[in-house]
Amino acid sequence: MSRDTGTGRRPGAASSDAFHPTVAQIEHIALATNDVECLCDFYQQLGATASPPSTDPDTGLRKCVLDFCGVRLELFERPGGRESAAGGALMHLGFALGSADAVDELSHAIATAGHRVLEPPHRTGELGRYESVVLDPDGNRIKLTV
């Protein structure tokens, strides 16, 4: 049962004349890693253009930026080696490839390169979406879809 506030709205509900921002676009995603070069190589298989890895002279933080048609994936390697970088917070990254054949081909190429394919290409859900799920070298889930 919702409580009326005398304005016809529930408490906390936005008014119809409230500011509505434009839809946000993903500008970048940042991932922590223990091996910038390895992760950079993996994401280049997905078609990214990569900047050369660099190191911040003040912090020692290593970084590589990959561009996917205007959306940047920033990879950061902490100084000091093999501490847990990723932390398991990422659910997955999704990449639309445009066709079922492209999903098949890239899934195969990733497996051939020695990376784990969790879910081979398959149809899923009521709408029959075609996808596969692979793991990057740090264990992040990557969903490849049409």
Write the pLDDT tens digit of every residue in 51-91.
999 888 887 888 999 999 989 999 998 776 555 444 544 56
Strands 129-135 and 141-145, sheet pairing = antiparallel
Give residue-wise pLDDT tens across range 119-128: 999 998 767 8
